[in-house]
Amino acid sequence: MFEKMRKALYCCFIGGALMMSGCASSTQSGNGWDQFLSFFGANGEINPDAIDKLEHISGTKLLLFNTIPIKFYDIAIIRITQYAINIDLFQAGTPIGVIAIGRDEICYQGECAPKSLVTRKILGLVSYPELLDDIFLARDIFNSKGLRIGKNGNLIQRFLLNDQEIFYERSVDFTLFKNLTTGVTISIQKYHPPKM
């Protein structure tokens, strides 16, 4: 009986040592740690020379923000995790910042504010806290008000709310939100790199 226990402990010890050495070697090389972090949606720094390699993560997009506080038109990489919508902004191929739209707040470069306040500041009075989420996830807005299907199969919402006319169109390739009264526009299109 003592001999069986000794063999069992020896096997457990050897198995544990092999497992620990395998973990150590994979984390020392960096690959194991990166694979571990990838389960939680953490990504390394963005290499502007590798934009095409990041497309599979969630999408390289051509993003237009034409709002009073934000004017932006360039490439963005949108990464959607269970915790946030992360928008990596680029200008002429160089990373310039990250917008994170979380459950209760919106952050830019680590500075955060309540979602309802930021959404109202960006989109104006005709908004609600989850409106940016709905636009970036291409969901119906304002409880599907004015929803119809266009001739080309795109989903279109056009309606009047608080004396402001809203136009919202979605397809597989693009999303367009436009307040026709104030001119506030958010456009998200698939990015197609130029062929050389």
Q: What is the CATH number of the domain that holds 154?
A: 2.50.20
- The total number of structural domains in the chain stands at 2
CB 167 within 8 A of CB 178: yes
The residue range of the domain holding 61 is 48-190
Statement to judge: residues 19 and 76 lie in one domain: no
| Residue of 65, 63, 101, 62 lying closest to 183 (CA atoms) | 65
Q: pTM value?
A: 0.69
Instruction: Please report, in angstroms and rounded to a whole number, the separation of the first and last CA atoms in the chain.
Output: 74
DSSP 8-state code for residue 193: P
What span, in angstroms and rounded, lies between the C-alpha atoms of 11 and 17? Answer: 10
CA–CA separation, 112 vs 17, rounded Å?
A: 45
User: Cα dihedral angle (99, 110, 183, 125), rounded to 10 degrees?
Assistant: 120
Residue type, 145: K
Same domain for 13 and 110? no
Residue 43: inside a domain: no
pLDDT, tens digit only, all 196 positions of the chain: 445 444 444 444 444 433 333 343 333 444 444 444 444 444 445 444 444 443 434 789 999 999 988 899 999 999 988 889 999 999 998 999 999 999 999 998 889 999 999 999 999 999 999 999 999 999 999 999 999 999 899 999 999 999 999 999 999 889 999 999 999 999 999 988 888 8
Tell whether 27 is covered by a domain.
yes
Number of residues written out for the chain: 196
Q: Which two tokens stand for residue 186?
A: 């958010």
